[in-house]
Amino acid sequence: MTLPLPNLDDRTYQDLMEEARRLIPIEYPEWTDHNPSDAGITILELMAWLTEMVIYRVNRIPDENIEVFLKLLNGKDWEKTSDLDLDMAIQQTIIDLRKRYRAVTPEDYETLILKDWSEMIAPLDKYPEYLRSPSCKIARVKCFSQQNLEDFEGENFEGENFEGRNSSELKERLAVGHMSVVIVPPKPQTSVEEQQQEQLCRYIWNYLDERRLLTTTHHVTLPEYVDVQISAQLRLKEGANSEEVRTSAQKAMDNFFDPLTGGDKGQGWDFGRDVYLSEVYQVLDRLPGVDYVNAKKNEGNNSAEQAGDTVIYNGVVLQNQVNINTVKLKDYQLVNLRKLELQIQESWEEDER
């Protein structure tokens, strides 16, 4: 809410003269000649004219004063250039003041990175070129309050024994005063891009360090992916091309789990969103040429394959061998489709090969 500015220029020449004439009988009763020809009235008219001029000037703020205030708001290095109009300088200063600068809430951290970071690295002489490359373009950001999602070492929590402790358990524990920012650039294709993205985290950490609260410890990390392997049997419609269906299925599943363009809304797979086998089958079932989808039958013994935190059992995705239809993710995790195994069955072939 802006403070209302007082209007000091609220009295005209006529107002001043009328007030002066009313005061003459009170202040000097012997003065009875109030005609314009009287010398005293002439002096009053002159004083009223000068007073009106002075209060007009008092109500105006000189350009020099405005420039001093603009410099106070913009910093000591700010100078008004000759080609910059004063009104434009005021407008630009107001816009800059309304920009988010201080990082306090999770929303502050996310907005500063998504909207302001690209402008921050624009100068070519201050930041390396690879920060502006497609591999370092930040498409999504998620901030987790009171969590430390960085890799843990013994000295991070003084006095605790970390032997035998699970890293995910430590990441889920309450970390008062910590803010963890997870940035989501495109998946790196080379080791060079991996190193560049690690450097990107350090640059963003420094960028946020100037804006955080003194009592806040912030962390900037890349996403933690949970590998998922899916096996399914596709029964094709008559006349469908098996290779085209296989290619479409791989592309559809890659897009569905993509951290930038996946999910139901096409805005990226949500952090912590569980993987449901029914959704996977639904995506595959919608493909052109697919009649229906089955869980892939397992040949031989019922063996389970361990893939990181994810277990594949008889072609069905498992998490901790608790629910055969769901992969449970932590709040800070995303999905990586490690492998898609498809058994294509033509419509005229028998169910059992």
Give the number of other CB atoms < 10 A from CB of residue 268: 19
- Position with higher pLDDT, 157 vs 95: 95
Identify the pLDDT of residue 38. 93
Considering the domain architecture, whether residues 309 and 338 belong to the same structural domain is answered as yes
Task: Determine the average pLDDT of the residues in 40-48.
Answer: 94
- How far, in Å, CA of 90 to CA of 140, rounded? 34
pLDDT for 121-149, tens place per residue?
Answer: 877 677 888 888 888 999 899 999 998 98
pTM > 0.85: no
**CB contact set of 239 (below 8 Å; sequence gap of 6+):** 289
DSSP 113: I
Which residue in 245, 223, 225, 244 sits closest to 234, CA to CA? 245
Identify the pLDDT of residue 277. 84
Tokens of 315: 């072609």
Judged against a pLDDT cut of 50, whether residue 274 lies above it is answered with: yes
Which residue in 212, 216, 128 sits closest to 178, CA to CA? 216
Q: Residue 306: pLDDT band by 50, 70, 90 thresholds?
A: very low
Considering the domain architecture, whether residues 243 and 305 belong to the same structural domain is answered as yes
Considering the domain architecture, whether residues 242 and 280 belong to the same structural domain is answered as yes
Residue 180 forms beta bridges with which residues?
Answer: 144, 219
Mean pLDDT of the chain: 82
Task: Determine the average pLDDT of the residues in 170-187.
Answer: 86
Considering the domain architecture, whether residues 254 and 274 belong to the same structural domain is answered as yes
Judged against a pLDDT cut of 80, whether residue 224 lies above it is answered with: yes
Identify the pLDDT of residue 167. 63
- How far, in Å, CA of 294 to CA of 292, rounded? 7
- How far, in Å, CA of 54 to CA of 16, rounded? 13
Judged against a pLDDT cut of 50, whether residue 240 lies above it is answered with: yes
Least-confidence region, from 187-191, 198-202, 291-295, 303-307: 303-307
Write phi, then psi, for 305 (nearest 5 degrees). -105, 130
Considering the domain architecture, whether residues 136 and 215 belong to the same structural domain is answered as yes
Q: 3-state secondary structure string, the chain?
A: CCCCCCCCCCCCHHHHHHHHHHHHHHHCCCCCCCCCCCHHHHHHHHHHHHHHHHHHHHHCCCHHHHHHHHHHHHCCCCCCCCCCCHHHHHHHHHHHHHCCCCECCHHHHHHHHHHHHHHHCCCCCCCCHHHHCHHHCCCEEEEEECCCCCCCCHHHCCCCCCCCCCHHHHHHCCCCCEEEEEEECCCCCCHHHHHHHHHHHHHHHHHHHCCECCCCEEEEECCEEEEEEEEEEEEECCCCCHHHHHHHHHHHHHHHHCCCCCCCCCCCCCCCCCEEHHHHHHHHHCCCCEEEEEECCCCCCCCEEEECCEEEECCEEEECCCECCEECCCCCEEEEEEEEEEEEECCCCCCCC
Residue 158 lies in a domain: no
- How far, in Å, CA of 80 to CA of 167, rounded? 54
Considering the domain architecture, whether residues 54 and 68 belong to the same structural domain is answered as no
Residue 350 lies in a domain: no
- Position with higher pLDDT, 257 vs 264: 257
Judged against a pLDDT cut of 90, whether residue 47 lies above it is answered with: yes
Considering the domain architecture, whether residues 247 and 331 belong to the same structural domain is answered as yes
- Position with higher pLDDT, 120 vs 169: 120
Least-confidence region, from 87-101, 245-259, 301-315: 301-315
Residue 314 lies in a domain: yes
pLDDT for 328-346, tens place per residue?
Answer: 888 999 999 888 888 888 7
Q: Residue 151: pLDDT band by 50, 70, 90 thresholds?
A: low
DSSP 4: P
Domain residues for the domain of 209 are 106-152+166-221
- Position with higher pLDDT, 48 vs 265: 48
What DSSP assignment string belongs to 250-272?
Answer: HHHHHHHH-TTT-SSSSS-PPTT
- How far, in Å, CA of 255 to CA of 261, rounded? 6
Considering the domain architecture, whether residues 272 and 292 belong to the same structural domain is answered as yes
Q: Are 113 and 180 in contact (CB under 8 A)?
A: no
> Of the candidates 204, 221, 238, which is a domain's last residue?
221
> Of the candidates 221, 236, 252, which is a domain's last residue?
221
Residue 88 lies in a domain: yes
Residue 196 lies in a domain: yes
Considering the domain architecture, whether residues 55 and 68 belong to the same structural domain is answered as no
Q: Residue 295: pLDDT band by 50, 70, 90 thresholds?
A: low
Considering the domain architecture, whether residues 331 and 265 belong to the same structural domain is answered as yes
Q: Residue 199: pLDDT band by 50, 70, 90 thresholds?
A: very high
Identify the pLDDT of residue 328. 86
Q: Are 139 and 182 in contact (CB under 8 A)?
A: no
Residue 351 lies in a domain: no
Judged against a pLDDT cut of 50, whether residue 311 lies above it is answered with: no
Q: Residue 18: pLDDT band by 50, 70, 90 thresholds?
A: very high
Considering the domain architecture, whether residues 331 and 281 belong to the same structural domain is answered as yes
Residue 5 lies in a domain: no
Percent of the chain predicted with pLDDT > 90:
35
Considering the domain architecture, whether residues 111 and 196 belong to the same structural domain is answered as yes
How open is the CA angle 178-181-93, to the nearest 5 degrees?
Answer: 100
Residue 335 lies in a domain: yes
In the chain, the number of structural domains is 4
Judged against a pLDDT cut of 80, whether residue 198 lies above it is answered with: yes
CA-CA-CA-CA dihedral for 94, 96, 98, 102, to nearest 10 = -150
Judged against a pLDDT cut of 50, whether residue 253 lies above it is answered with: yes
Do strands 140-145 and 178-184 pair parallel, antiparallel, or not at all (unpaired)? antiparallel
Residue 118 host element (H or E): helix 117-120
Q: Residue 150: pLDDT band by 50, 70, 90 thresholds?
A: confident
Judged against a pLDDT cut of 80, whether residue 154 lies above it is answered with: no
Judged against a pLDDT cut of 60, whether residue 216 lies above it is answered with: yes
- Position with higher pLDDT, 161 vs 16: 16
